[in-house]
Each structure stands twice: as structure tokens, then as C-alpha cells.
Structure 1
Amino acid sequence: MATPKALILRAPGTNCDGETAFAFQLAGGQAERVHLNRLLDQPNLAEGFQILCLPGGFSYGDDIAAGRIVGSQIRHHLDEVLRQFIDAGKLVLGICNGFQILLKSGILLPDSDDGHPPATLAWNESQRFVDRWVHLKTFGDKCVFLKDIEKMYLPVAHAEGRFAARDAATLAALDKADQLALRYTDAAGGEAAFPDCPNGAQLGVAGACDSTGRVFGLMPHPERHLDPTHHPRWTRGEAGEVGDGLKIFQNAVEYFS
């Protein structure tokens, strides 16, 4: 089939769209950066793509809350478009601010019957912006983007990344369904405390997927570790043959092979 195409949706304040487009191209796909206003004006643009990605950054300056404005625009103007996109068997990825948008729009985890979201991304427990590298481990085999990945080492850079479910029952249900697919660990792969878990997330959750495994959001930045030289200690021989984040994009492209 034709080379899979990724729509990289950007908004005012997005600043990782170029790197994310490059990641999909490096993985063997095509990528086009599309401004949110263009998609709002021409929703049928999405039909020409197999992957939709919401990259990292600070959409609308995070002036209300991280991802809240774009999430609201999607919820009120593009919800049907994205639902059709997902129902067609396509993929959606949200990175950092994109993860925040996916949760606030209800696309990743649909609202409960009472109209409230099952989970959100709240302020880091430290109440500070955190910028560091973290160890990660995958859980379950539901998520398409994490196929054949056991662990990763990726950077995080956020102030609102603490995964918090609305209650204990919801958290347990998501865990049982293998939707809490990516979690922070310490260097040995064990349970992480601060700073290995940079935000205090419940169960150390760094990423979550929907019930199909085809919609995935994560706080770490895979597009910032594509090449071995991106590793902060590559000169000491600690990097692999490729950057840990590349496999996520390769999995998305190869899904349509």
C-alpha cells in the first residue's frame, strides 16, 4: 500500500511539530504539519491521513490549563471527525501537550455517564516544571504504538503531567484493561519515586491508551530520542544503536504495512 501519512496537528504555542514530523519520516512514513484552524475550516482533510499526531509544546500558552483550549475546540468542533477517524481503524498519538489535549477532549478516555472525565493530568506534585530523562516500562500488549517495546529512556518536560484517575475504581479498571500502558520506573526497573517519577502520577503512569489500543498519549518525548547521539551519555557508550523513541513511530507506520 501507499506510504502511511501522518497529520501533525499544530496550534499557537506548539513547538515540537517539526521534530515529530521528522520522526515519522525517519520511521518510513510521510508527515504534514497542519494548523488547527485549517482542520477546523476543512475537517475532511483528515480523510487523507492514516495517523493523527498531537505534538508537544504549550498550545495557547497553557494560559487556562495545559491542553484545555485545544481540547475544548476538538470536543465542540472536531469530535465527530476524530471519532470517525478512529472508527476507520486509524491511529492517534498525543505527546506531552498532545496527551493533555487527548484527555481534555475526551478522545482518549471518553467521559463517564455523568459527563465527567475518567482521568486528567494535574500539576506535578512538586508544583514545578520538570525537565529530565526518565526510565520507562511498558505494561500489557494492548497499545499498538508500544509493540515489542519493553523499556525506554526518554526525556520529559512538563508542569502538568501527574496522571490522576477520578477515583480508585476507575484507576483499577483502567489498570485491569491494560490501558495504563507506560509507567515510570527507577534505573533498575522497579517502582519509581521522585525524581524517577517526575510528577507523582498514580501507579507511575507515563502513558495511557484507549480500549482499542490505537489511541495513545504519553508525557515523555519520543521524538527527542531518535538517534543514539540524543542520549545524554552517548559519549560514555550508554546509547543503543538507535534512539529509544524511534520504535514508537516505526510501530505506527508499520501498523499499516
Structure 2
Amino acid sequence: MNERRTLARAIVLRAAGSNCDREAVLALELAGARVELLHLYRLLEQPRRLDDAQILLLPGGFSYGDYVAAGRLYAHELRARLSDALVGFVARGGHVLGICNGFQVLVETGLLEGPAVTRGERPRSLALENNLSNRFECRWVELEALASACPYLEPGLRLPVPVAHGEGRLAVRDAATLEALYAQRQVALRYVDPAAASGADPRRVPYPACPNGSLDAIAGLCDASGRVLGLMPHPERNVRVFHHPTWTRLSGRREGEGLRVFRGLVACAQSSLTPARV
């Protein structure tokens, strides 16, 4: 009897105002996942659709027009009607990735801070505030992966990726919150300045290399388990060789650097599956 590889199944969850869902689907498919593009309302009707998935991706965009605050209305729908399903999904080993608006949604739901916050039993300690420039920032930046709890981000990995947001500046309740993020290895990605002098403080990255003034130049966080990751930049917009603006002058690239995030994510999800026997 032969064994056939079972593909990791991913759900890309779109809502009114999502506009990066198709790019997210492509990135996951290129990484080897079987992907379903699903509207939020369908999942609200049938929460058990999460049972067969290993990956849930919340894409970028301007959900509900960013009214009230970026991602807040989308997050309210999730917290009010799917909090137990989301907590259960992560607890059984599911991976959640939130990109840009999806990161804002993760922060608003409290999923990065644990079940007690998601269920409303404890207040949030994290927020994504207006960029210090007080304007929408759209440019390419460089990220570096830190030694975090996220199993598929290799420490030291450098990623050139675009940003496109108006509310991406990480803020925390107090110094103890920031200390806890580092202690629990939840700081996953940081903006870096390619032109920085040797020995420069990596937590002090000037504008525009750090496009929003985020605390300690933090670009992405994971939860304590490492299975929930949120980041403001868009790795799904750099998955093909020609996605980079200077791709014709870059040699030795077979794919966009952002695809490494999705390959790692899918590989992690794949490792938990039992091969089918045929």
C-alpha cells in the first residue's frame, strides 16, 4: 500500500473591504496548500468548516471601510460569534496568519494575547495606532525575523516586502507588556534599515525604514504558542520573481522572498497531517 501526501487545507477569510484575498490564495497555493476563499458570513453560518482546516488566513484590505478603527468591526464579528471556534482552532494545532488588516483584526480580537483576552475575560494590552507620519504609508521595506516562538520564521531571515497602511504603529499598555512580549518570544519580525551603521540599535530604526514609528520597530507579533502570527507588511505581494520593483537587476532569485513565509507556514501545517493510504 502506498502513501499519498495529504495537502494542508487553508481558509482565506474575506469580508467586506478585503482586497488582498486573491494574492493570499495565490501565495498559499504556490506554497503547496489546498485553499478555499471563504466569506466571513459563510463561516459565521458554519463554524465547523474550521474543523477540516489547518490554516486560517486573514488578508489585508480595509474591512468595513476601517470605520471606528482599522479591523475593529471585523474583529467584533469574530469575537462575538466565533471566539470559542477560534480559540479551539489554535488549541488543536491550527495556524492563523493575519496580514496588514488581518494583523489589525488579530490585535482587536485579542487572539495574539491568548484565550482570556479573546473571550473578553481580560482587557487587551496591545493596539495598532495611526502612523507617526499621520498619513498612509506605501513603500517597500526590509524585515528581519527574530528568534521567536513562531516555528516557520527562521531567525535572521531578511525579507524585502511592501507596506500599505495608515494604522500600523504598535503600542502597548505599559512596560511590563513589552517585557512579556520579549520574554514569551512573541516579537517575531522587526523593520530594519539596510543603510544602518554597524552596531546601531536594532530597536531604533528611523523613518522611512520603519514606516510607522512602531515601538521597537516591531513589524510582526506571534502568540505564545507561535501558531498565531500577525504582521503589517505584505509578504503575499512578493512571491513571484518579478514582484520586486528592481527584479531585473537582482540575480539568483527563483521566487519572491515573501513566498518563504508561506512555504514555512504550509510545511508546519503539513507536518501535523497523516499521509493518506492508497
Alpha-carbon distance, 1:156 to partner = 0.3
Structure 2 residue identity aligned to 1:70: Y
> Where does the alignment leave 5 or more consecutive residues of structure 2 unmatched?
272-278
Structure 1 residue identity aligned to 2:183: K
Q: Name the counterpart of 1:182.
A: 189
- Tell me, in whole angstroms, the C-alpha distance in 2 between the residues paired with 1:106 and 1:150: 27
Note if 1:90 corresponds to 2:103.
no
Aligned length: 257
Note if 1:120 corresponds to 2:127.
yes
Q: Name the counterpart of 1:43.
A: 47
Question: For residues 159-198 of structure 1, what are the structure 2 equivalents within 5 Å?
Answer: 159-188=166-195, 191=202, 192-198=205-211
The question of whether the paired residues in 2 share the 8 Å contact of 1:125 and 1:162 is answered with: yes
CA root-mean-square deviation:
1.7
Question: For residues 132-211 of structure 1, what are the structure 2 equivalents within 5 Å?
Answer: 132-147=139-154, 150-188=157-195, 191=202, 192-211=205-224
1:239/1:183 Cα in 2 relative to 1: closer, same or farther (>3 Å)? farther
The question of whether the paired residues in 2 share the 8 Å contact of 1:17 and 1:33 is answered with: yes
Alpha-carbon distance, 1:144 to partner = 2.4
> Where does the alignment leave 5 or more consecutive residues of structure 1 unmatched?
none
Alpha-carbon distance, 1:201 to partner = 0.4
With 144-153 and 224-233 compared, the bigger mean Cα shift is at 144-153
1:206/1:239 Cα in 2 relative to 1: closer, same or farther (>3 Å)? farther
Q: Secondary structure at the match of 2:104?
A: helix
Structure 2 residue identity aligned to 1:204: A
Q: Name the counterpart of 2:276.
A: none
Alpha-carbon distance, 1:149 to partner = 5.7
Q: Secondary structure at the match of 2:83?
A: helix
The question of whether the paired residues in 2 share the 8 Å contact of 1:233 and 1:239 is answered with: no
Q: Secondary structure at the match of 2:23?
A: helix
Q: Name the counterpart of 1:247.
A: 260
Structure 2 residue identity aligned to 1:211: A
Alpha-carbon distance, 1:147 to partner = 3.4
The question of whether the paired residues in 1 share the 8 Å contact of 2:11 and 2:53 is answered with: yes
Greater gyration radius: 2
Q: Which of 212, 216, 231 is equivalent to 1:218?
A: 231
- Tell me, in whole angstroms, the C-alpha distance in 2 between the residues paired with 1:188 and 1:85: 41
Normalized against structure 2, the TM-score is what? 0.88
Q: Which of 240, 257, 268 is equivalent to 1:227?
A: 240
1:4/1:114 Cα in 2 relative to 1: closer, same or farther (>3 Å)? closer
Kindly indicate whether structure 1 or structure 2 has the higher relative contact order, using CA contacts under 8 Å at least 6 residues apart: 2
